[in-house]
Amino acid sequence: MPKRAIHGLTNDELMEDARRSLPRGHGFARRVHRMAVLEGRFEPEALGLGAAACRAWRSEFSFELPEVVALETDDGPQGTTSKVVLRLYDGLEVEAVRIPMGRNRYTLCVSSQVGCKMGCGFCETGRMGLLRHLSTSEIISQLLVAKHRLGWPVRNIVFMGMGEALDNADNFFRALRVLNDPGGLAIAQERITICTVGHVQGIERLHQEGMKRLNLSISLNAAVDSLRSELMPINRRSDLRTLQRALACYRPRKNFALGVNYCLLPGLNDTRADARAIADFCKPLGRVLVNVIAYNPGSIPITRAPSEYEVEQFIGWLREEGLPVRQRVTKGRSVMAACGQLGNPSARVDRRSLRTLRV
């Protein structure tokens, strides 16, 4: 049986697993877990365990973090955005981004898959296709590397890196429990945001899981079916009405405000009529906050970046429609760390080398 990754488990789960599988030393499970996730170390010897118990721990459990293969930074008016490229055990690579939030606070944008099968037309990751899901421990590893190897003071987590988290639901929901685990990382649900392309089954599951204080945002990008289906193929499976129904049912708490992300694409989705369509879509959804994001042209641009005037004009139209709006400031564009830019060619192993690795 393969070794279980300590950081893919909650404190209670590790205790239970250790009790079942270790002949001795299982009473140290809580401390082993906390040492791993809070200090980034797996050293049962340092806890005073004897040689046989340490051997047993090492034969059943592992704690391996991915290697940092590149680190790039971009200084902007809001602070420094940093992108880290991590190499996984099979040679594939994922990216995580540290986003400055002011007052020395940072949000870590994490990946949930290597590549993505959703194929959104404006996204670099979508062009890779889906290479594989990340395991729970690989999702958590991004935070542990950020905290313990790079010393980043991470406050919030946003699932907006490579991949669609709700398409990797089992591993993703386990990762949420590990992040939120009061015996371990203890990251409050309020500090975690899930950004989805509009994965209806995933939104329904989110509802069933009953984690009521999480933040949710959707990537809308078009509020007219024909255009959205062109930009975001998932819309052909679940059209705007279906998505709207699922979101209208998702009211986890009284003061919940749904984030509606809208990437402004000049010449494609930036007219007065588009602003009206967004308002119509949002009407039955209760409290929303629309985030307008200026398009970041990647390696194969589908249009140009909008001017500041175009962004302001569109925001003005949304406000006329009565919507609360804010402009999401683009951070990290020069290092391809901005929205829709993760997964650039230098950060991935191509499919031929993947086959070689798997032989």
Site residues for ligand SF4 per CB under 6 A: 116, 118-120, 123, 125-126, 162-164, 197
Tokens representing 263? Answer: 């990437």
Q: Indicate the residue among 119 and 252 with the shorter CB distance to ligand SF4.
A: 119
CB of 146 to ligand SF4, least distance (A): 20
CB of 279 to ligand SF4, least distance (A): 23
* H helix intervals, the chain: 11-21, 29-39, 51-60, 124-128, 136-144, 169-180, 200-209, 225-231, 234-237, 240-249, 272-282, 308-320, 351-358
Q: Indicate the residue among 123 and 154 with the shorter CB distance to ligand SF4.
A: 123
SS3 at position 290: strand
Concatenating the DSSP letter of every residue in 62-128 gives E--PPEEEEEEEEEETTEEEEEEEEE-TTS-EEEEEEEEEETTEEEEE--SEEE-SS--TT-HHHHH
Q: Can you list the pairs that 93-96 forms with residues at least 24 positions away whose Cβ atoms lie under 8 Å? A: 93/69, 93/347, 93/348, 93/349, 94/66, 94/134, 94/138, 94/142, 94/161, 94/162, 94/347, 95/161, 95/162, 95/337, 95/342, 95/343, 95/347, 96/142, 96/145, 96/146, 96/161
CB of 72 to ligand SF4, least distance (A): 19
CB of 68 to ligand SF4, least distance (A): 22
Active site residues: 339
Residue number closest to ligand SF4, CB atom: 126
Q: Indicate the residue among 82 and 168 with the shorter CB distance to ligand SF4.
A: 168
Q: Indicate the residue among 154 and 339 with the shorter CB distance to ligand SF4.
A: 339
The C-alpha atoms of residue 145 and residue 139 are separated, in whole angstroms, by 11
CB of 138 to ligand SF4, least distance (A): 16
Q: Indicate the residue among 54 and 240 with the shorter CB distance to ligand SF4.
A: 240
